[in-house]
Each structure stands twice: as C-alpha cells, then as structure tokens.
Amino acid sequence: MRRKDREITDTRELLEIIKANKVCRLGMADENRPYVIPLNYGFEFEGDDLILYFHCADEGKKIDVLKKNPEVCFEIDGEHQLTQGKNDCEYGFNFASIIGFGTVKFLEKEAEKIHALEQLMRHQTGEDRDFQFAPPHIKAVTVFKVETHSFTGKRRALPI
C-alpha cells in the first residue's frame, strides 16, 4: 500500500467498515478481461479469516465466469464525502474501503446454504434473528462464499 498513513490495520476498524456497508464489488477474470459486479453480501469472521456470502440466480455470466476461475478480488467502500479546498487542486474525497482477494466456493448442502443466507439477511436487514427460508427457494437459489486470502483497509478521513 503506497499511502501507509491511510492504512487500517485494526481488525475492529476493518469490521466496522464491512458492517457499515451493504454492497461488495466482486471482480472476476473472464478469460483475459476483467468483469466486476456489485452484490449485496453477508459475512462472518472465522478466527482471523473473513468469509463473504452471496446469492444469485442459478445461471448467468457471473456463474459461468466463477466456475471457470474461482479466484476473485473484492471491494467494499463507504464514508464518502467531498472536502472542498481553497482552490480547485485542494479538493479531496474522503472514504473508507476494504480490498481483498479470495476463492469462491459454491455451497450445495442445504444447511450450508441456510447458514449463508442467514448471514446475508442479518447483515442486510440489521436484524439478529432466525430467518425462515422455504425449501423450494433454498433449492432454487445459488449460494456461494468467498474465503478470503488477504484483505486490507484504507481510509481518508475528514480533516480534524
């Protein structure tokens, strides 16, 4: 990371960024071309490992690309705010972001899918409760997780 002064190393701060945002951009390699899509996500930490959960339809470009190459890059960002300067070259943009790499694993077992969907719903709704999913819906949806290899955080905060 070039700007070490903006790097976030505290796991609690990284977790707060992940909790505060609802969209993850998932970057894939489609042959020799990048392919990036925004997705809602759920997450959990297993030890020091971040696991991201996603769901989608059973078919489509995303599924085709991920089945050919499960290695991905992901990005989550928020805290957006323009900072005005005295002149045009002194403007800036404040943000907090997470960028990382991982491997996609498709979940096939009903219990795994339910667990992932619960994490997704808890994060998206902010409700810490048990969610009920109808068996036909569980069977019809594709659920996958990204087991992260590494991730870093960066923040450009408002000046004090």
| pLDDT per position as a tens digit, 82-96 | 777 788 777 777 888
In a domain, 76, yes or no: yes
In a domain, 24, yes or no: yes
CATH number at 114 reads 2.30.110.10
In a domain, 160, yes or no: no
Q: Write out the residue range of the structural domain in which residue 100 sits.
A: 4-155
Please tell me the predicted confidence (pLDDT) of residue 6: 65
Helix (H) or strand (E) holding 40: strand 33-40
Query: Which amino acid belongs to residue 125?
Result: T
- Which pTM value belongs to this model? 0.90
Please tell me the predicted confidence (pLDDT) of residue 148: 94
In a domain, 55, yes or no: yes
DSSP 141: S
Phi, psi of 133 (to 5 degrees): -125, 130
Please tell me the predicted confidence (pLDDT) of residue 158: 60
Percent of the chain with pLDDT over 70: 94
- Enumerate the β-bridge partners of residue 4: none
In a domain, 110, yes or no: yes
Indicate the pLDDT class of residue 78, thresholds 50, 70 and 90: confident
**Average pLDDT across the chain, whole number:** 89
Residue located via tokens 């990204």: 146
More confident residue, 148 or 83: 148
Q: How far apart are CA 24 and CA 42, in angstroms?
A: 10
Domain count, the chain: 1
